[in-house]
Amino acid sequence: MKNGFVLLAVATALLLTGCGTSEKPAGSYRQVSQSDAAAMMERETDYILLDVRTQEEYAQGHIPGAICVPNETIGSDEIPQLPDKDQLILVYCRSGNRSKQAAEKLGKLGYTNIVEFGGILSWTGETVSGSEG
């Protein structure tokens, strides 16, 4: 009888674990390598490349096509430069710290397709300078 009870308890536990939601928790994002991010930029067409460093850092050098929304400005307000919360957003900064913070904040704001890939310090692809993307 005891073995039957244990078996029933294990089966119930297994069934209940399948009843969870498949939604990602608020603040969630994917982290990928820079080579994976570069491949995504080649493969995808409708994405935003987001540099979360300061405007001054951005002007010194950034990945072509990136827009600048400094991490410090991301809070609880809507972000006009990011109107589509389901659009793929590839996030980077200088070393990878601020991009992780920004990716988490974006997730909490309801953005659903955030990919963080570290910092421009180790970026081997092209960069441009100036304040335009």
Q: Would you name the residues annotated as active-site residues?
A: 93
CA 14 to chain centre: 31
DSSP result, 119-130: EGGG--S--B-S
Q: Integer distance in angstroms from the first to the last C-alpha of the chain?
A: 70
| Cβ atoms of 41 and 54 closer than 8 Å | no
- What helix, strand, coil percent values describe the chain, rounded to 5? 40, 15, 45
DSSP 62: B
CA-CA distance, 66 to 101, in Å (whole number)? Answer: 18
